[in-house]
C-alpha cells in the first residue's frame, strides 16, 4: 500500500512540474496586457464658467413678423377719377398752313374722347393746304360730315368758309381722304354721328 501511495505522489509531482514547465515555455504575447484608463475631467465652454449648457429645445418657437415694404413714390391711388366726356379735342396739326383742329358733335352725349382724338389725328394728317403759313394765319373753315356705324363718311359739305378758296377746298379734301374713319364705339346708342370739324390755320 505504501508503495502505491509513493508511486501516486511521484506521478502527481511530475505532472505538476510538467505543467509549470509548459506554462514557462508559452510566449508572453498570448497574455493580454491590462488596459489602463485615464481619468477625464469635464470642462465648460469658454465664456461661461461654472455653467453647463443644456441642449433642450425652447418651449415656444420664435416667430418673426414680416413687415410690408413701402417704397416711396409708388403708392397706388385706390380712388379712380372718372373721365369727363369731351365734345371737342384740340390738337396741333402740321405741314403748310395747318395750325390745328377741333370737333363739335351733334348731340351732347358722346362720352368717347378717345374716338374723337383718333379721327382728328387721321383727318388733320391729310390736311395739307397749298398756301403758306402766313397766308393761312387766322383762317378757319368748318366741314360737316356724317359717320356711320362702320366708320364710313357721307354728306360732306363746307359749313363755314374761311375766305380763302384753297384753304376751304383742302379742308374738304382732308375729310374725303380720311374715308373710312374708325368704326363707332359698340356701346354708342346711335347708328351715325354728325361731326362739325374745324380747320384752323396758323404760323
Q: Name, in order, each residue with C-beta under 8 angstroms of 132's C-beta and a sequence gap of 6 or more.
A: 96, 97
How far is 33 from 40, CA to CA, in rounded Å? 22
Segment 59-117, tens digit of pLDDT: 555 666 666 565 554 444 445 454 444 444 444 344 455 567 788 998 768 899 999 99
CATH of domain 104-201: 3.30.1150.10
Q: In the structure grid, which three cell numbers stand for residue 138, read together?
A: 387766322
pTM over 0.85: no
Segment 109-159, tens digit of pLDDT: 889 999 999 999 999 999 998 899 889 989 999 999 999 999 999 999 999
pLDDT band at residue 203 using 50, 70 and 90 as cut-offs? low
How far CA 99 is from CA of 41, 75, 86, 146, in Å, comes to 101, 40, 21, 24
Segment 2-29, tens digit of pLDDT: 666 667 777 777 877 777 767 666 655 4
Range of lowest pLDDT (40-54, 77-91, 153-167, 179-193): 77-91
Cα torsion 130, 133, 135, 136: sign: positive
Q: What is the residue-averaged pLDDT of the chain?
A: 75
- Which strands make up the sheet holding 140-148, listed edge to edge? 91-92, 98-105, 192-201, 140-148, 153-160
Cα torsion 182, 188, 193, 198: sign: negative
Percent of the chain with pLDDT over 90: 38
Amino acid at each position: 500500500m505504501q508503495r502505491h501511495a509513493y508511486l501516486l505522489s511521484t506521478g502527481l509531482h511530475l505532472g505538476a512540474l510538467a505543467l509549470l514547465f509548459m506554462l514557462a515555455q508559452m510566449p508572453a504575447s498570448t497574455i493580454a496586457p491590462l488596459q489602463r484608463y485615464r481619468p477625464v475631467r469635464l470642462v465648460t465652454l469658454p465664456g461661461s464658467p461654472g455653467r453647463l449648457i443644456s441642449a433642450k429645445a425652447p418651449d415656444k418657437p420664435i416667430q418673426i413678423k414680416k413687415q410690408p415694404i413701402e417704397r416711396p413714390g409708388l403708392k397706388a391711388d385706390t380712388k379712380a377719377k372718372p373721365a369727363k366726356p369731351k365734345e371737342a379735342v384740340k390738337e396741333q396739326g402740321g405741314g403748310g398752313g395747318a395750325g390745328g383742329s377741333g370737333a363739335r358733335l351733334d348731340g351732347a352725349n358722346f362720352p368717347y374722347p378717345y374716338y374723337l382724338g383718333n379721327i382728328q389725328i387721321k383727318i388733320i394728317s391729310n390736311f395739307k393746304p397749298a398756301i403758306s403759313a402766313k397766308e393761312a394765319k387766322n383762317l378757319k373753315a368748318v366741314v360737316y360730315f356724317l359717320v356711320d356705324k362702320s366708320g364710313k363718311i357721307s354728306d360732306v359739305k363746307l359749313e363755314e368758309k374761311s375766305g380763302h378758296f384753297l384753304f376751304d377746298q383742302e379742308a374738304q379734301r382732308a375729310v374725303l381722304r380720311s374715308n373710312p374713319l374708325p368704326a363707332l364705339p359698340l356701346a354708342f346708342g346711335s347708328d351715325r354721328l354728325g361731326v362739325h370739324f374745324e380747320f384752323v390755320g396758323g404760323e
